[in-house]
Amino acid sequence: MYDTSGTSGMSRLSRLDKNVIKAERLGGCIAVLIFVAITVVVALLSIHFDWPRWTRWIITVLAILTIISIPFEIFLSPKFTYKYWRYRISEHEVELQHGVFFKKHTLIPMARIQHIDTKQGPIQRHYGLYSVSMSTAAGSYEIPALNKETAQKVRKQISVFARITDEEL
């Protein structure tokens, strides 16, 4: 996992914390519930205000899409996130790899990193997870779902390699 010996950083690609599966499932459940609530409200409004018949067809299609998305949002996507999200930190760059069908491989040169943060949303907080985000002039990048200890080590290691002082963090 994390190599604290020497200055080479991580020698192989590391995984996210396994709790990412639970956190993503909870996020998927919340997203599906919000979409169902919106669909139900729009359906009730269309009945109450006697909207044209074609609007009911659109609502039906939305309901079917919601039902179809449930297995993906709650079961497949969280497992894919854990299985296919990898990162590596070395003296010269941060490497990010993720994606199932469309693979994305990002190399962020340490010399370009201007700012680094750890953050935690309510779902992540529930599962003890943190995200480490890095900013460059070209944009921002994130390593999601690390446990507290790993997130702090990753943040510190990147700041050392990028030579970011504590005042800049």
**pLDDT digit string (tens) for the chain, length 169 residues:** 444 334 444 468 999 999 999 999 999 999 999 988 998 998 899 999 999 989 889 989 988 988 998 999 999 999 999 999 999 999 999 999 999 999 999 999 999 999 999 999 999 999 999 999 999 999 999 999 999 999 999 999 999 999 875 555 5
The reported pLDDT for the residue numbered 4 is 38
Q: Are 106 and 141 in contact (CB under 8 A)?
A: yes
Residue 169 has a pLDDT of 54
Cβ 70 vs Cβ 25: under 8 Å:
no
Burial category of 8 from C-beta neighbours within 10 Å (exposed 0-12, middle 13-18, buried 19 and up) = exposed
CA 24 to CA 92: how far, in whole Å? 31
Please give the Cα distance from 84 to 142 (Å, whole number).
15
What is the Cα–Cα distance from 150 to 68, expressed in whole angstroms? 36
Provide the pLDDT for residue 158: 96
The size of the chain, in residues, is 169
Are 2 and 154 in contact by the 8 Å Cβ rule? The answer is yes
The pLDDT assigned to 66 comes to: 86
If you ran DSSP here, which 8-state letter would residue 167 be given?
T
Q: Read off the tokens for 162.
A: 């990028």
Q: How many CA atoms lie within 13 A of 39 on its CB side?
A: 18
